[in-house]
């Protein structure tokens, strides 16, 4: 079975030399019609039945607009929805089960939202034909766990509730105070309970537009929890939250399922996905072209298979390399050349005071910065960057610093290419940067897009790139994982490591995703204290000591998966959790 997908946002027949694909197609040249021109819409259409799959058009199209893939025949009957001719195709769906949290793991653009739209009745799946009819859908899923679900959905018995992915957009759509919003949502009569569990007491009388990302996230989760529904979908519930808040949210989502509700969640923080899901589906395919939901898998096996890039039951390799977590308990980065010795620094805002111990940063190392929200991490980074002046201590070095803030604001009118060229055109042409940074982050595909029209994940990748192509001695990146899927998080981590090592530079990364911190960092700076009141930054320390210190302060223990070495959060009060706490080993076991 062959599918041809054309990204019409990229296709530009006038600029490729007048429908280049049609002119080079060997079938067309022999008088056939694999590619025809849709005169009305002024665009090419590939007829899958006539196309031989030679791939010539794919390689010739200067805008990489065409994807042709051969898929196994047996997938055909699993075809759930296609948005049109040469459009994105979704194969198979995740299961939805009362009393269970079903996790979804996979790249953005592979149909997770499409699946949720089908399961919530926002679209009637067309089964890749042109007939949108619930009876057909029910027939197609006969004997499948979803048959009964779709029957109930058709009868209007299923009410879905969705916590959206981009919480930053909420203030544009909703006005007023947090309390009013949540009171209005409270069909379940759980206002007090949910407000307490999500620690929202202090912000109930704030205006929505004043909230930080982490606060918006918790308000959005609360609003979903308060609705009375059958099926709850949480799209990336961890963005902007610190680790303690992430685990708290994970527990609340679990509790919702324990009360008998069906929960589906997309989550890219693997430690959190692992902690909250009963089963998971891996989604694979090509973003923008097609997506396939795997069979349901046990959470542990599913995540391990995902990291290996190989799905055993399906016998599919979807990534050429495995992701492994080396036991780098102590890297020896401290033995190299010193980049800077910074002094004790204090910042006093009145209501909040940060005291940072002095420390040394080495050339070529990546230092993770961990700690709760509101503890002064950004303030510390800004003092090092020279953006914020310390109350005590002096930053008088001549280091150049490149900084990516947590919240990325754009008021740039031009394209991604214009923006990045202005920052450092040379690096865009440099082959090392192409292979290590630009291609892995998919930046060339974004070159022609307007910066102010990018999605959250695209903007994040552009902002990270903009930070890393600047010439500087010290790179500071505040929460680079936000809005990125797992593949992109790994790509960013690899890129940062290799750029620092090769260029002999230093990076400080503020990050809450434990897997990413583990994968990325040579050493850690741990922040302790009382969020919103006072913070203390400890001097940089080794990974083992730092992780122990950090996790002890939040009361969470992690073990390592014996197969992949990835960090897994222990359930609170479990045998492992108690044993590790007794030994003071919160990590690295
Ligand atoms: P995910 O949630 O995994 O990021 P989506 O389900 O949102 O993925 O989208 C998958 C693909 O489907 C995207 O590449 C998008 O371009 C395409 N798509 C989504 N909605 C439509 C639509 N209404 N018409 C055509 N294509 C669409
Ligand atoms: P983190 O990055 O760890 O979330 P921040 O450094 O952003 O923490 O903030 C720490 C505390 O300092 C917060 O309580 C915040 O409200 C306060 N704060 C940050 N910037 C200012 C400022 N310019 N004036 C007053 N208080 C501030
Ligand atoms: Fe030209 Fe590519 Fe569009 Fe074909 S798909 S018309 S080659 S831009
Ligand atoms: Fe024509 Fe080959 Fe492209 Fe198919 S893959 S449309 S046969 S050029």
Which ligand 4 atom is the nearest neighbour of the CA of 60?
8
Q: Which CATH number fits domain 85-317: 3.30.110.60, 3.40.50.300, 3.30.870.10, 3.30.300.30?
A: 3.40.50.300
114 lines ligand 1 (CB under 6 A): yes
Walk along the chain (589 residues) and give the pLDDT tens digit of each residue. Answer: 899 999 998 999 999 999 999 999 999 999 999 999 999 999 999 999 999 999 999 999 999 999 999 999 989 889 999 999 999 999 999 999 999 999 999 998 999 999 999 998 889 999 999 888 999 999 999 999 899 999 999 999 988 999 988 888 899 999 999 999 999 999 999 999 999 999 999 999 999 998 988 999 999 999 999 999 989 999 999 988 998 899 999 999 999 999 999 999 999 999 999 999 999 999 999 999 999 999 999 999 999 999 999 999 999 999 888 887 765 545 555 568 999 899 999 999 999 999 999 999 999 999 999 999 889 998 998 898 888 899 999 987 778 889 998 888 888 899 999 999 999 999 999 999 999 999 999 999 999 899 998 988 999 999 999 999 999 999 999 999 988 999 899 999 999 999 999 999 999 999 999 989 988 999 999 999 998 899 999 999 999 899 999 999 888 899 988 888 888 989 888 999 999 999 999 986 5
Please report the pLDDT score of residue 364 as a whole number: 93
The CATH fold of domain 337-541: Rossmann fold (3.40.50)
Probe target for ligand 1 pocket from 3, 109, 116, 445, with the most ligand atoms within 8 Å of CB:
109
The radius of gyration of the chain from alpha carbons, rounded to an integer in Å, stands at: 25
Domains 85-317 and 337-541 share a fold: yes
Please report the pLDDT score of residue 377 as a whole number: 92
34 lines ligand 4 (CB under 6 A): yes
Ligand nearest to the CA of 12: 3
Q: Cα–Cα distance between 567 and 328 in angstroms, integer?
A: 13
- Region of 245 please: left (phi>0), alpha (psi -120 to 50) or beta: alpha
Q: What are phi and psi of 502, to 5 degrees?
A: -70, -45
Which ligand 4 atom is the nearest neighbour of the CA of 54?
2
Long-range CB contacts for residues 87-91, cutoff 8 Å, separation at least 24: 87/5, 88/5, 88/114, 88/288, 88/289, 88/290, 88/291, 89/3, 89/5, 89/128, 89/289, 89/290, 89/291, 90/114, 90/115, 90/118, 90/290, 90/291, 90/293, 91/285, 91/290, 91/291, 91/292, 91/293
Probe target for ligand 2 pocket from 210, 354, 356, 376, with the most ligand atoms within 8 Å of CB:
376
Which ligand 2 atom is the nearest neighbour of the CA of 351?
26
For residue 284, the Cα-to-chain-centroid distance in whole angstroms is 15
Identify the residue whose C-alpha is closest to ligand 2 atom 1: 374
Which ligand 1 atom is the nearest neighbour of the CA of 117?
6
Please report the pLDDT score of residue 395 as a whole number: 84
Which ligand 3 atom is the nearest neighbour of the CA of 60?
7
51 lines ligand 4 (CB under 6 A): yes
Tell me, in angstroms, the distance from the centre of ligand 3 to residue 11's CA.
5
Q: Cα–Cα distance between 377 and 385 in angstroms, integer?
A: 12
For residue 489, the surrounding DSSP H or E stretch is helix 486-503
Q: What are the sequence ranges of the domains in the chain? A: 2-70, 85-317, 337-541
Please report the pLDDT score of residue 589 as a whole number: 55
Residues 397-435 as b or e (16 or more Cβ within 10 Å = b):
eebebbbbbbebeeeeeebbbebbbebbeebbeeeebee
158 in Cβ contact with 230 (< 8 Å): yes
> Is residue 90 helix, strand or coil?
strand
Probe target for ligand 3 pocket from 5, 7, 8, 21, with the most ligand atoms within 8 Å of CB:
21
Tell me, in angstroms, the distance from the centre of ligand 1 to residue 72's CA.
22
Identify the residue whose C-alpha is closest to ligand 4 atom 2: 54
Tell me, in angstroms, the distance from the centre of ligand 3 to residue 129's CA.
25
Probe target for ligand 3 pocket from 63, 64, 68, with the most ligand atoms within 8 Å of CB:
63
Sequence-distant (6+) residues with CB within 8 A of 161 are 224, 227, 229, 231, 232, 233
Please report the pLDDT score of residue 329 as a whole number: 47
Q: Cα–Cα distance between 543 and 519 in angstroms, integer?
A: 11
Tell me, in angstroms, the distance from the centre of ligand 1 to residue 464's CA.
24
Tell me, in angstroms, the distance from the centre of ligand 4 to residue 56's CA.
6
For strands 506-510 and 474-478, give the pairing: parallel
Tell me, in angstroms, the distance from the centre of ligand 1 to residue 246's CA.
27
Ligand nearest to the CA of 33: 4
Which ligand 2 atom is the nearest neighbour of the CA of 372?
3
Ligand nearest to the CA of 4: 4
Please report the pLDDT score of residue 332 as a whole number: 55
Tell me, in angstroms, the distance from the centre of ligand 4 to residue 78's CA.
25
Identify the residue whose C-alpha is closest to ligand 4 atom 8: 25
Probe target for ligand 2 pocket from 355, 379, 536, with the most ligand atoms within 8 Å of CB:
379
Please report the pLDDT score of residue 577 as a whole number: 93
Ligand nearest to the CA of 483: 1
Q: What is the DSSP letter of 484?
A: -
Which residue ranges have their beta carbon within 6 Å of ligand 2? 349, 352, 373-379, 532
Ligand nearest to the CA of 70: 4
The CATH fold of domain 2-70: Alpha-Beta Plaits (3.30.70)
Which ligand 1 atom is the nearest neighbour of the CA of 165?
2
Which ligand 1 atom is the nearest neighbour of the CA of 106?
3
For strands 262-266 and 101-105, give the pairing: parallel
- Region of 176 please: left (phi>0), alpha (psi -120 to 50) or beta: left
Ligand nearest to the CA of 287: 1
- Cα 75 to Cα 105, 134, 290, distances in angstroms: 20, 21, 12
81 lines ligand 1 (CB under 6 A): no
């Amino acid at each position: 079975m062959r599918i041809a997908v054309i990204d019409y946002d990229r296709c530009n027949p006038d600029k490729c030399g007048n429908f280049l694909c049609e002119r080079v197609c060997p079938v067309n040249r022999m008088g056939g019609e694999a590619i025809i021109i849709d005169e009305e819409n002024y665009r090419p259409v590939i007829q899958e039945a006539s196309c031989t799959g030679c791939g010539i058009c794919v390689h010739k199209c200067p805008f990489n607009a065409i994807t042709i893939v051969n898929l196994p025949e047996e997938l055909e009957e699993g075809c759930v929805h296609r948005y049109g001719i040469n459009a994105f195709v979704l194969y198979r769906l995740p299961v939805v089960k009362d009393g269970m949290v079903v996790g979804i793991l996979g790249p953005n653009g592979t149909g997770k939202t499409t699946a949720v739209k089908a399961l919530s009745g926002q679209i009637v799946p067309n089964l890749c034909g042109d007939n949108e009819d619930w009876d057909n859908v029910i027939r197609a899923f006969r004997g499948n766990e979803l048959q009964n679900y779709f029957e109930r959905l058709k009868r209007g018995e299923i009410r879905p509730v969705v916590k959206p992915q981009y919480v930053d957009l909420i203030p544009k759509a909703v006005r007023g105070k947090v309390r009013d919003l949540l009171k209005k949502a409270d069909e379940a009569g759980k206002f007090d309970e949910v407000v307490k569990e999500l620690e929202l007491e202090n912000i109930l009388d704030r205006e929505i537009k004043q909230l930080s990302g982490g606060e918006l996230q918790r308000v959005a989760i609360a609003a979903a929890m308060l609705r009375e529904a059958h099926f709850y979908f949480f799209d990336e519930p961890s963005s902007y939250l610190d680790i303690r808040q992430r685990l708290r949210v994970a527990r609340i989502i679990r509790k919702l399922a324990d009360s008998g509700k069906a929960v589906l969640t997309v989550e890219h923080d693997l430690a959190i996905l692992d902690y909250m899901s009963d089963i998971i589906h891996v989604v694979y395919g090509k973003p923008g072209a097609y997506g396939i939901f795997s069979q349901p898998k046990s959470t542990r096996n599913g995540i391990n298979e995902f990291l290996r890039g190989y799905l055993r039951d399906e016998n599919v390799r979807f990534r050429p390399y495995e992701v492994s977590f080396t036991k780098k308990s102590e890297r020896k980065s401290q033995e190299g050349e010193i980049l800077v010795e910074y002094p004790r620094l204090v910042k006093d805002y009145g209501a909040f005071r940060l005291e940072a111990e002095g420390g040394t940063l080495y050339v070529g190392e990546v230092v993770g910065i961990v700690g709760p929200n509101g503890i002064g991490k950004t303030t510390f980074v800004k003092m090092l960057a020279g953006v914020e002046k310390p109350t005590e201590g002096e930053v008088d070095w001549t280091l150049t610093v490149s900084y990516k803030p947590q919240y990325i604001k754009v008021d740039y009118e031009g394209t991604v290419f214009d923006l990045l060229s202005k920052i450092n055109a040379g690096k865009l042409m440099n082959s090392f940067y192409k292979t290590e940074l630009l291609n892995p982050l998919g930046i060339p595909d974004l070159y022609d897009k307007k910066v102010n029209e990018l999605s959250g994940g695209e903007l994040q990748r552009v902002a990270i790139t903009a930070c890393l192509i600047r010439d500087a001695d010290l790179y500071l990146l505040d929460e680079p994982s936000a809005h990125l899927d797992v593949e992109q998080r790994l790509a960013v981590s690899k890129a940062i490591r290799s750029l620092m090592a090769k260029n002999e530079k230093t990076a400080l990364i503020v990050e809450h995703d434990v897997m990413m911190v583990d994968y990325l960092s040579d050493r850690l700076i741990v922040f302790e204290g009382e969020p919103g009141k006072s913070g203390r930054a400890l001097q940089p320390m080794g990974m083992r000591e730092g992780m122990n210190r950090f996790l002890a302060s939040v009361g969470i223990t992690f073990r390592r998966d014996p197969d992949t070495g990835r960090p897994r959060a222990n359930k609170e009060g479990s045998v492992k959790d108690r044993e590790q706490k007794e030994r003071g080993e919160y990590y690295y076991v």
